[in-house]
Amino acid sequence: MDEHKLALIEHLQAHALRTDGPFRLASGAISDWYLDGRQTTFDGAGARLIAAAVAAALLPEVTAVGGMTMGADPIAIATAMVTEPPLRAFSVRKAAKDHGTGGRIVGPISETDRVAVVDDTTTTGASMAEVIDVLEGEGFKVVQAITVVDRSGGSAAELFVGRGLPYAALVTPHELGVG
């Protein structure tokens, strides 16, 4: 394991991993461990580690990165800042707004972009799949899905491969010492 991934795992273990459950996950499942990814993604050192890991996993044709607000926002912004040339970051709102520019997609992306969808933690892949559906419904070309921690046991990878999308999980529960 390279030193950057080890540093990311150590940061997640020290700041984001909780093992004092039980915890109810967004999927409705109950778990004895929980990853509060924002404890790493909103931390300057943690954001740099995640951005470097995501940037290293990106396909070369990717020009924009984002996902469902709020989990993907700091990942997308940090990644957009460290790539060369810089990428564009975007968010997908949970619901459309009826004021301002409206809609669910926020950020400087266009239909010519090649998009990577990111998330901090994936349990089923449903949130990322929703983002992909929203983006594709608006004419955007999604070319990749990346999660920081995949706790799906392989089901998220199957979901995205079944949709014809390359999928990368940067860290597994086993690497965190849980699950």
Nearest to 107 by CA among 115, 27, 12: 115
Give 96's pLDDT tier (boundaries 50, 70, 90): confident
- Cα distances from 74 to residues 3, 110, 121, 144, in angstroms, run 22, 20, 13, 18
Q: For the chain, report the end-to-end CA distance as a whole number of angstroms.
A: 19
Crossing angle of helices 126-137/155-162, nearest 10°? Answer: 20
| pTM to 2 decimal places | 0.95
* Low-confidence winner among 94-98, 113-117, 146-150 (lowest mean pLDDT): 94-98
Domain locations in the chain as residue ranges: 3-176
- What's the CATH architecture for 3-176? 3-Layer(aba) Sandwich (3.40)
The 10s digit of each residue's pLDDT in 44-90 is 999 999 999 999 999 999 999 999 999 999 999 999 999 999 999 99
Tell me how far apart the alpha carbons of residues 72 and 76 are, in angstroms, rounded to a whole number.
6
pLDDT at residue 154 tops 80: yes
Tell me, what's the pLDDT at 27? 85
Average pLDDT, the chain: 95
Alpha carbon of residue 4 to chain centroid: 18
